[in-house]
Amino acid sequence: MQTNKIPVIAIDGPSASGKGTVAQLVARKLGFHYLDSGALYRLVALKTIQLHADTQNPGAAAEIAIHLNVFFKDEHIYLDDIIVTDAIRTEQCGIVASQLAAYPQVRAALTERQRAFRQLPGLVADGRDMGSVIFPDAVLKIYLTASAEVRAQRRHKQLIEKGMSANIADLLQDIQKRDERDSNRSIAPLQQGIDAKLLDTTSLTISQAQDAVLSWYNDVLAKTRV
CB of 15: closest distance to ligand CDP in angstroms? 3
Give 111 or 218: the residue with its C-beta nearer to ligand CDP. Answer: 111
Give the binding-site size for ligand CDP (rule: CB under 6 A): 15
How many Å apart are CA 22 and CA 15, to the nearest integer? 14
- Max Cα-Cα span within the chain: 56
* 101 interacts with ligand CDP by CB under 6 A: yes
Contact string 132-171 vs ligand CDP (x = CB under 6 A): ----------------------------------------
Give 147 or 218: the residue with its C-beta nearer to ligand CDP. Answer: 147
Residues in the chain: 226
For residue 117, how many C-alpha atoms fall within 13 Å in the half-sphere facing its CB? Answer: 25
How many Å apart are CA 74 and CA 91, to the nearest integer? 24
22, 27, 94, 123: which one binds ligand CDP (CB under 6 A)? 94
* 37 interacts with ligand CDP by CB under 6 A: yes
Nearest to 141 by CA among 15, 8, 5, 4: 8
> Can you name the residues that pair with 92 across neighbouring β-strands?
none
How many Å apart are CA 50 and CA 151, to the nearest integer? 28
Q: By CB under 6 A, name the binding residues for ligand CDP.
A: 15-16, 37-38, 41-42, 94, 97-98, 101, 127-129, 178, 182
